[in-house]
Structure 1
């Protein structure tokens, strides 16, 4: 099976919020995240990822519902483990939910969720999502202990945080590739789908070819940045083409 691409459109909303944070409902507010979904699909996207953060710094609730109502691709909702976000997820009913850590100080998600340490608080959320027929993923650092905890809690998928990999070079990157490989092997052995995301771009993606068992990459910022030059459909298509080099 070929590697799938989930396109994260959060930073389309970031661009809008840069000017219209106080007027997101203005007729002049652009670009609309939902308006870009058609281009993502035309470029070859397999799913759409959105992240409604507690502080609503980019995607708004209305964006999530508009995407859900207009998108015919599977939707992956990233969310923090809060009652508010769980209620949103259960009402929105996306195909997938990826539980992620959130802190107000960070610019973007800077690390994986501590599933092992937060097991008891995460378990009820995972159970409720699964009862609603929503597949659950855990956004975790490439750590065997976290993979094991994710499988134990009932997640069908893990998304390995590739931020440290993306920010490493030379021998340090090789070490990060080894960490990702160990985590991917463990996930595969436990019957958990292994995805990856954060910081993957048009250059470093080739170094991930060495890591086995990946099913999907979730990529956002690099595609949005590239689209400024070539347009969104082409930016997605270029990433899809690069992903064909992955042999699993």
Structure 2
């Protein structure tokens, strides 16, 4: 049966380029506008504690832009009181809780929920009380899925970085791990998303997992935009996803 998968475009690395020189160009908000016009279903932005790319001002602008466009903003955030306060102030459609280490170049794995429920559950509860949809970015592991459900998350986003970085001939076991975790999550009533490291090929491959309803993709699309432009890169991703699931063009 055909299905249309939502595409969230992460515009963090437009801000990375901007911040390399200072000033205002290139503007992440302009990238968000282009992404929505090109077929993105929503915008994702990670406000890191060190503000290495997206800034507080960007979140304010993106919140207003997505509200006006009637498209969801997915705020990726660490589990801290500072980030909780920012999320409650802006009230994005969704908040995705992610692990964060200052020394990492990019998010290196999923959030450790199992064993840390007492720290994460109050943040989940306060976000949910404010009407913000709560997602947890986790590894495709049974204990993490069960813990996500136990603390009241509505969505899990599986970290696909390991799958994407393995040689193609070595991906079968990781694919099986993703598929099993997705089936477990859906059985528990959790919505299933996936993201990290995905390109045109791997995005299409993981969509063979029927429970996945949304992909969040950023770095690859911003990198491709250097060569093709952002709108063509997103349109090609949208087409690859639709071809993989049999969705009408």
| TM-score (structure 2 length as normaliser) | 0.94
Residues 205, 244 of structure 2: 8 Å contact kept:
no
Unaligned runs of 5+ in 1: 21-25
Deviation at 1:109, TM superposition (A): 0.3
Q: What are the Cα deviations for residues 139-175 of structure 1, in whole angstroms up to 9, with x where unaligned?
A: 0001111111111111110000000001112442111
Alpha-carbon separation, structure 2, partners of 1:188 and 1:70 = 32
Alpha-carbon separation, structure 2, partners of 1:44 and 1:107 = 28
Partner of 1:83: 81
1:1-248 correspondence to structure 2 within 5 Å = 1-20=3-22, 26=23, 29-71=24-66, 72=69, 73-247=71-245
Alpha-carbon separation, structure 2, partners of 1:8 and 1:68 = 14
Alpha-carbon separation, structure 1, partners of 2:145 and 2:202 = 23
Unaligned runs of 5+ in 2: none
Secondary structure of the structure 1 residue equivalent to 2:44: strand
Q: What are the Cα deviations for residues 43-73 of structure 1, in whole angstroms up to 9, with x where unaligned?
A: 1000000000000000000001011112222
Deviation at 1:107, TM superposition (A): 0.2
Secondary structure of the structure 2 residue equivalent to 1:63: helix
> Matched residue pairs, number?
241
Deviation at 1:102, TM superposition (A): 0.2
| TM-score (structure 1 length as normaliser) | 0.94
Alpha-carbon separation, structure 2, partners of 1:218 and 1:206 = 13
Deviation at 1:204, TM superposition (A): 2.0
Q: What are the Cα deviations for residues 14-33 of structure 1, in whole angstroms up to 9, with x where unaligned?
A: 1111111xxxxx4xx21110
